[in-house]
Amino acid sequence: MLKQRIITAVVLVALLLPAVFAATAEPLAGLTLVLIAAGAWEWGRLNGYAMRGALRWAAVCLILCLVSWQQQWAAASLPLLWTLAGGLWVLAGGALLRAGVGQWARVPRLLRMVGGVCVLWLTWLALWQAKRHGINFLLSVLLLVWVADVAAYFAGHAFGRRKLALHISPGKSWEGVWGGMLGVLLMAFGWVWADTQWEMDSPSLYSLLNAKGPAYLVLATVFLVAMSVVGDLIESLVKRSAGMKDSSQLLPGHGGVLDRVDALLPTLPLALMLIAWPT
């Protein structure tokens, strides 16, 4: 299993890094288009569709992405779209976690599928737009999720006592969440300082937030980390409802695409929402 995880990780890094550091956003948009379509297929399987039905939903997601590509939406200013997406994430995420695993199957399947496909499409669009902002900006958003996850793991392992959501994800603790928030806050202030010391291709997420005031930086960063946890928990809730450990086995040793991007699903659109709001 460890060997599989390492090989898969090396392959993914080898594919993604050149696209992340490319001069234009199109290589990353094209590569992640495949991953997002695969995520839509996984979402269909998690919600009870057989292979053919799940592939149809993957095609719907792919068409949405291609239409927005053709219309060049990633080059447009979309504050209303990101605000709407962010508001729905907060409201729907809170409602689903409060309802618990047992209530997920009671949500009409068509609504579940439309919602999931729209989330994946918006994540892809937000990723493309983040790349257009610049490499420094994109990396600052991606590392928010990764640093939060790593810091939460170590904090939870060392200090975890109070379970965060026992019936959804038993391994997560409140102490892990606080540790993740602290780790990202330290990174955020360090990144703001680094932006002033070296010439970057673009301002980072944290510098843009800090431009609205240090208090805004702290509150926005904590909020984004909290919503990354919500994204992780929502996917765990859906998998538990479906009786599945992983969203698929498309990524050997890692599970599925959704298992790797669940925390990014709310974070990317919300990051764009927060920088779009006026000071």
Is the CB of residue 223 less than 8 Å from the CB of residue 275?
no
Q: What is the pLDDT of residue 1?
A: 58
Q: Which residue has the tokens 């669009």?
A: 125
Q: What is the pLDDT of residue 104?
A: 96
Q: What is the pLDDT of residue 279?
A: 59
CA–CA separation, 171 vs 167, rounded Å?
Answer: 10
Question: Does residue 163 sit in helix, strand or coil?
Answer: strand
Q: What is the pLDDT of residue 163?
A: 94
Q: What is the pLDDT of residue 9?
A: 80
Residue 170, H or E segment: strand 169-173
Question: Does residue 252 sit in helix, strand or coil?
Answer: coil
Q: What is the pLDDT of residue 5?
A: 75
* pLDDT lower than 50: segments of the chain: none
